[in-house]
Amino acid sequence: MTTNAQATRPAIQVENLTVSYGPKPALLDVTLSIEKGLLIGVIGPNGAGKSTFIKAILGFVKRDMGTVAIQGVSAEKAKGLVAYVPQRGAVDWDFPVRVKEVAMMGRYGHIPWYTDPSPDDWRIVDEALEMVRMSEFKDRQIGQLSGGQQQRVFMARALAQGSDILLLDEPFAGVDAATERAILDVLENAKASGRTLVVVHHDLTTAGEYFDRLILIKQRLYAYGPPRAVLQEDLLSQVYEGRLRVFSNLIKKER
């Protein structure tokens, strides 16, 4: 639950964030403040540190230096304030668990270890599955679903957690156009409910249309702001090292 003090703070405050894998820096001195209630895309080439940025906020990777605060609370003490949807490739889809049980995993932080889920917990799970349009599959084994359906179930798990901030790593990867539209609808609805969403995204042709703000990174932060300010030819040429052909329709009207 968000306190009054937390409500006045940025959703995420990152200062001088540096992360290395061995001698090679994955992120270098990244500083930015992410406002509440926005749908934000993280863009950059392969290997730019996009997923590392998300994992560093969550505390999944060790920081060499810098700080991360979630609604004014240090990341180390912010358990439960952030929900995470991993890349599909990071999940064992053969594990014998049903859709509703995956969604219920989002409630585990609210349920004492010695009790079963309450009717209220199941109501929250049902609402989350309804929000992602997966209610009719709630008794299906997770491995029997399509890739897009699996992604939506993990979004339901994150929504069921009840966190104000959702971090999603490549939710649109490997899905068809119809599923991509369905996932975007879920993100928009989550934003409309007051949540802040930070989404790793690889497709520049849709980045300007989908997001309120964009974070452009390649180890260091190159830009953060409205899409039309970030999707500039000079910036993209620097980050993508001139290998990217920049089309005029990448630069969308500011939302």
pLDDT digits (tens, 9 = 90+) for 179-209: 888 899 999 999 999 999 999 998 898 999 9
Read off the pLDDT band of 90 (50, 70, 90): low
Percentage of the chain lying above the pLDDT 90 cut: 56
Report d(CA 254, CA 212) in Å as an integer. 8
Positive or negative torsion for Cα 247, 248, 253, 254 = positive
Q: Which residues of 176-203 are buried (b: 16+ CB within 10 A; e: fewer)?
A: eeebbebbbebbeebbeeebbbbbbbbe
Report d(CA 79, CA 56) in Å as an integer. 14
pTM score of the predicted model: 0.87
Q: How many CA atoms lie within 13 A of 147 on its CB side?
A: 15
Read off the pLDDT band of 54 (50, 70, 90): very high
Report d(CA 66, CA 29) in Å as an integer. 8
Domains and CATH numbers, the chain: 1-37+44-79+205-255 (3.40.50.300)
- Predicted confidence (pLDDT) at residue 25 exceeds the cutoff of 70: yes
